[in-house]
Structure 1
Amino acid sequence: MKKIAVIGSINMDMTVQTQRHPKVGETVAGHHLSYIPGGKGANQAVAAARLGGDVTMFGCVGDDIFSGRLIDNLAKNNVDTRHIRSVSKTSCGIAMITVAQKDNTIIVIAGANQYVSREYISQEKENILQADIILLQNEIPFETVAYAADMAWKHGKTVIYNPAPFLPVPQNFMNKITYVTPNEHEAALLYGEDQSIEQMLEKSKGKAIITLGDQGAAAWINARSVFIPPRPANVTDTTGAGDTFNGALACGLSQGQTLEEALRFANTAASLSTEKMGAQTGMPDRAAVARWMPAHAPKI
Structure 2
Amino acid sequence: MATSPASTSTPARATVTVVGSLNMDLVVRAQRLPQPGETLAGQTFAQVAGGKGGNQAVAAARLGAQVTLVGCLGADANGAQLRAGLEAEQIDCTALETHAAVASGVALIVVDDASQNAIVIVAGANGLLNADALARHDAALAAKVVVCQLETPLDAVHEALARARRHGATTILNPAPANGPLPDGWLMLIDYLIPNEHEAAALTGLPVDSPDTAAAAAAQLRAGGARNVIVTLGAQGVLALLEGTPAVHHPAPKVHAVDTTAAGDTLIGALAAQLAQGVAAQEAIAFAQHAAALSVTRAGAQPSIPFLAELQR
TM bucket (normalised to shorter chain) is over 0.9
Partner SS, residue 84 of structure 2: helix
2:267 to 245, 268, 275: 245
Distance 1:137 1:207, change over 3 A: same
Q: Is the contact between residue 20 and residue 100 of structure 1 (CA under 8 Å) also seen in structure 2?
A: yes
Q: Is the contact between residue 8 and residue 59 of structure 1 (CA under 8 Å) also seen in structure 2?
A: yes
2:88 to 47, 51, 76: 76
Tell me the residue number matched to 2:5.
none
Aligned partner of 1:126: which letter? Answer: A
Runs of 4 or more, structure 1, over 4 Å off, are none
Report 1:1-300 matches (<5 A). 1-101=13-113, 102-129=115-142, 131-167=143-179, 168-194=181-207, 196-205=213-222, 206-221=227-242, 222-291=244-313
What is the distance in 2 between the residues matched to 1:244 and 1:127? 21
What is the distance in 1 between the residues matched to 2:106 and 2:165? 31
Partner SS, residue 209 of structure 1: strand
Aligned partner of 2:279: which letter? Answer: Q
What is the distance in 2 between the residues matched to 1:225 and 1:89? 47
What is the distance in 2 between the residues matched to 1:202 and 1:174? 13
Aligned partner of 1:177: which letter? Answer: I
TM-score by length of 1: 0.93
What is the distance in 2 between the residues matched to 1:60 and 1:250? 21
Aligned partner of 2:192: which letter? Answer: Y
Partner SS, residue 228 of structure 2: coil
* Aligned positions, number: 290
Aligned partner of 1:233: which letter? Answer: V
Residue identity (%): 39
> How large is the RMSD of aligned CA atoms in angstroms?
1.3
Shift of 1:140: 0.4
Shift of 1:194: 5.0
What do residues 96-147 of structure 1 show as CA deviations (whole Å, max 9, x unaligned)? Answer: 0001131100000000001111111111112322x12110001100010011
TM-score by length of 2: 0.89
Partner SS, residue 172 of structure 1: coil
Aligned partner of 2:85: which letter? Answer: N
Say which is worse superposed, 203-212 or 144-153, in terms of deviation.
Answer: 203-212
Partner SS, residue 147 of structure 2: strand
Q: Which runs of 5+ in 2 are unaligned?
A: 1-12
Shift of 1:169: 1.4
Tell me the residue number matched to 1:296.
none
Partner SS, residue 70 of structure 1: helix
Aligned partner of 1:279: which letter? Answer: A
Partner SS, residue 21 of structure 1: coil
